[in-house]
Amino acid sequence: MSKLWGGRFTKETNTIVEQETASIGFDQQLANEDIRGSLAHAQMLGECGIITMEEAEQIQTGLKTIQDKIVQGQVEFSVEHEDIHMNVEKLLIEEIGAVGGKLHTGRSRNDQVATDMHLYLRDKIQAILALLTQVQEALYEQAQANVETILPGYTHLQRAQPVSFAHHLLAYFWMFQRDKERLKDSQKRVNGLPLGAGALAGTTFPINRERVAELLDFDFVYPNSMDAVSDRDFILEFLSDASILMTHISRLSEELIIWGSQEFQFIELDDSFSTGSSIMPQKKNPDVPELLRAKTGRVNGNLVGLLTVLKGLPLAYNKDMQEDKEGMFDTVRTLDASLSMLAPMIETMTVKTAHMRQAVTQDYSNATDIADYLATKGMPFREAHDIIGKIVIYAIEQGKYLLDLNMDEYTGFSALFEEDIYDILRPEHVVSARHSQGGTGFEQVEEQLQQAKAALQ
């Protein structure tokens, strides 16, 4: 027997056409999902009396044998049979004879492939959620150990106000929390069953879709057969969520790269997460965060690719849709590898608390606190802001920091200054004074750690 759809054809398929229209090269990754779907379909066909229960069992036994053979690497897929669906069906017929040909009763590859992808993404999203939790745990651990580690906080990459390092790390914890919430929400839509939609219009056989949904643990059955076979929103949604997630990873990576530079020296990545240079013996390069930063490009590309494939596509199934797979596989693989490296990289990095501390004593990031000081004493904030601006210019001219100015110098700018200004200006005070809800004050950060812990449970 040649092609499963060969009946209507009088000529062989052109060789390049056969090669290029086939998807088996990549959709063999769906073999397990394809067989799971078929096992449930056969069961339902038997229970509904569309085939005999004995035939259903024969088909199921055959499918399980094929599944085992695939796992053991004993199966060679062929381009002649185009995709995973027809390859498995062909193998089944070889395995159990003509009765294998009854499996495709009441279904089409169109509802079959959609079902495979729902099953596939459902599992992958679970796995990605677990990896995201590992990244959050790594951030949480480092945050817990660094509540009182102070470093400059930046806006415009200019030193702004000192913050607790834990506070900075927890900012990423919450980004990843939102990524998890988005993915969890998408599960509602991933977990629907297209099977039973047939090619596009349903089927003449008395099938039971609810039963298949039950067997495959789907929460709902697509209510419209045309939508069922042509919907790829669940993949688009996954790819969008992935792009937002990679954006977060790239931002964190960028900070790790900057922090690890000679100019900053706030952290050092572990040797096991760094690489060397073929020419410069002294180099220890942050290749891992650099690659993570760059991988955002391909993940965004996969999203734009599928959006473009689907744009303007008429109902119902079109071969264009076969192009939904490689980008999806690539994004899954990229997220898996990226998150798997990110968690241990954060866990093993060295936090150079002394360098961070030194940085906050050699800048003017406590200037806001002097303005707040005068404002607390009744001076309008705008006026205080102006005076402190002048103090900063004066200090820079003198080659001093704000803590180095003496009392005479301060009172020269305003009679409101008293000795307590020196306490106000200490980095610890500057940080702990920001005790508004969600601020970097140490007590607020402790509170935030509690919230993070609760989110992890």
Does the annotation mark 41 as catalytic?
no
CA 271 to CA 258: how far, in whole Å?
17
Closest approach of ligand ARG to the CB of residue 193, in Å = 17
Binders of ligand ARG among 303-322, rule CB under 6 A?
317, 319, 321-322
**Site membership for ligand ARG, residue 146 (CB under 6 A):** no
Classify residue 200 by its DSSP letter. T
- 180 interacts with ligand ARG by CB under 6 A: no
Q: Which of 33, 34, 55, 83 binds ligand ARG (CB under 6 A)?
A: 83
Helix axis angle, 109-145 relative to 325-348, nearest 10°?
10
| Minimum distance, C-beta of residue 349 to ligand ARG, in the bound complex (Å) | 42
Furthest C-alpha separation in the chain: 102
255: contact with ligand ARG by CB under 6 A? no
Query: Exactly one of 23, 149, 331, 366 binds ligand ARG (CB under 6 A); which one?
Result: 23
Considering the rule CB under 6 A, would residue 27 count as an interface residue with ligand ARG?
yes
- Our CB check for ligand ARG shows the closer of 308 and 406 to be 308
What amino acid occupies position 30?
Answer: L
Q: Is 167 a catalytic residue?
A: no
Q: Which two tokens stand for residue 384?
A: 């205080």
Q: Of 156, 272, 278, 436, which one is the catalytic site residue?
A: 156
Instruction: Please choose, from the candidates 220, 154, 156, the residue with its C-alpha nearest in 3D space to the C-alpha of residue 193.
Output: 220
Which of these, 332, 339, 310, lies nearest to 122 by C-alpha position? 332
Which of 2, 78, 277, 340 is catalytic? The answer is: 277
Q: Residue 154 or residue 329: which is nearer to ligand ARG going by CB?
A: 329
User: What is the nearest approach in angstroms of ligand ARG to the Cβ of residue 84?
Assistant: 7
Options 107-115, 367-375, 399-407, 431-439: segment touching ligand ARG (CB under 6 A): 107-115
Considering only 109, 159, 232, 293, the residue that binds ligand ARG (CB under 6 A) is 109
Q: How many whole angstroms separate alpha carbon 439 and alpha carbon 437?
A: 5
* Residue in 369, 364, 426 with CA at minimum distance from that of residue 400: 364
| Count of chain residues binding ligand ARG (CB under 6 A) | 10
Task: Say if residue 22 is preceded by a cis peptide, omega within 30 of 0.
Answer: no
Specify whether the CB–CB gap between 77 and 89 falls below 8 A.
Answer: no
- Contacting ligand ARG (CB under 6 A), which of 4, 91, 113, 425? 113
> Residue 77 carries which side chain, given as an amino acid letter?
F
Provide the terminal-to-terminal Cα distance of the chain, rounded to the nearest Å: 56
Between CA 433 and CA 415 the distance in angstroms is: 23
Assess 444 for contact with ligand ARG (CB under 6 A): no
166 lies in the site for ligand ARG, by CB under 6 A? no
Task: Mark residues 267-306: x for contact with ligand ARG by CB under 6 A, - for none.
Answer: ----------------------------------------
Q: How far is CA 79 from the centre of its chain?
A: 33
Q: Which is nearer to ligand ARG, 33 or 55 (CB)?
A: 33
Q: Name which of 110 and 177 has its Cβ closer to ligand ARG.
A: 110
Please tell me the distance from the alpha carbon of residue 242 to that of residue 336, in angstroms, as a whole number.
11
Q: Which of 240, 105, 143, 262 is nearest to 185 (CA)?
A: 240
Closest residue by Cα to residue 88 from 49, 51, 62: 62
What is the DSSP code (8-state) at residue 285?
B
> Which CB atom, from 8 or from 319, has the smaller least distance to ligand ARG?
319
C-beta separation of 305 from 296 below 8 A: no
Closest CB 225 distance from ligand ARG, rounded Å: 14
Nearer to ligand ARG, 256 or 321 (CB): 321
Of 156 and 311, the one with the shorter C-beta distance to ligand ARG is 311
> In whole angstroms, how close is the CB of 189 to ligand ARG at the nearest point?
19
C-alpha 306/C-alpha 121 separation (Å) is 15
Q: Which residues are catalytic?
A: 156, 277
Residues that bind ligand ARG (CB under 6 A): 23, 27, 83, 109-110, 113, 317, 319, 321-322
